[in-house]
Amino acid sequence: MLVDFNTLPQESRVWIYQADRSFSKEELEDINHKLEKFITNWTAHGSDLQAGYLIKYNRFIIIALNQNLNKATGCSIDASVHFIQQLEKEYKVDLMDKMNVSYKQGEYIAYKTLSSFKQMAKDKAISKNTIVFNNLVTNIAEFNDNWEVPASDSWHSRFVK
């Protein structure tokens, strides 16, 4: 059951998929339609799942699920992963690699491998004040408060001094 992301409870579970590039306007329109269709039909053991989504900065797909209503099951999570993998194939984009880092350079969103990010920190090309995206947040409250933060306030802090 598709609902507006902003109406979901703060404790709703989130999954964040970051693309290795920005989506075009046409791709975004198509992806929005596909997300709406997927979430509208997303179920767990035949029960509707109340969920919503956001696409931020033309490259992050955030899916949220109200687990107070019905919890995700192995099969429903597998279905969402399969859906994301289909998007990867169709748009020739990487959405599942958690070992990459996205951060802000002014208004631009940069995407680097973790090893490149570590080297940039060593070279002082990024600092503890660099805004990073903490894709390890687990619910909407954390997403709102701790997703887009200075590197010093996230797991990235171990690389910046």
d(CA 22, CA 90): 14
If you search the block for the tokens 């954390």, which residue do you land on?
Answer: 142
Tens digits of residue pLDDT in 72-84: 888 899 999 999 9
- Banded pLDDT at 70 (limits 50, 70, 90): confident
Residues in CB range of 73: below 8 A, 6 or more apart: 44, 45
Mean pLDDT, the chain, rounded, equals: 93
Q: What is the pLDDT of residues 100-157, one digit of tens each?
A: 999 998 889 999 999 999 999 999 999 999 999 999 999 999 999 999 999 999 888 8
pLDDT of residue 73: 82
Higher pLDDT, 54 or 68: 54
How would residue 52 be classed by pLDDT, with cut points 50, 70 and 90?
very high
Residue ranges covered by each domain of the chain: 5-91, 100-158
pLDDT at 92 over 80: yes
Instruction: Report residue 41 as tokens.
Output: 């039909």
Rounded CA gap, 95 and 31, in Å?
A: 13
- Which pLDDT band, with edges at 50, 70 and 90, does 15 fall under? very high
CB burial of 24-53 (b: ≥16 within 10 Å; e: otherwise) equals: eeebeeebeeebeebbeebebeeeebbbbb
